[in-house]
Amino acid sequence: MALLQAARYYLLKGDLEKAKSFGLNRAIFYAWAKRSGKPVFQRKRTAGASAPSIPSRAREIEALGNENAYVND
């Protein structure tokens, strides 16, 4: 699966090193998503509660087709 995702990224973007990182990242994500069918717990939000904030030092996000993925440098 990682090889398939890496080949997909390489054909669309042309960067081999980022393609390897993207392929491994996507394969790990899909394996995790497949194993965790339901969330282990759900938080109850009260009316007016805001969504959790994103940390200020987030990694770069790459858009590929209709998916977004984190990019490791």
Amino acid at site 70? Y
Residue 60: strand pairing partners: 71
Whole-number pLDDT of residue 28 = 87
pLDDT in tens, 12-71: 888 888 888 888 888 888 888 888 766 555 666 666 656 665 555 557 788 878 888 777
Say what the pLDDT of residue 15 is.
82
pLDDT value at residue 51: 60
Domain locations in the chain as residue ranges: 1-71
Indicate the pTM of the whole model. 0.48
Question: Quick one: pLDDT at residue 60?
Answer: 79
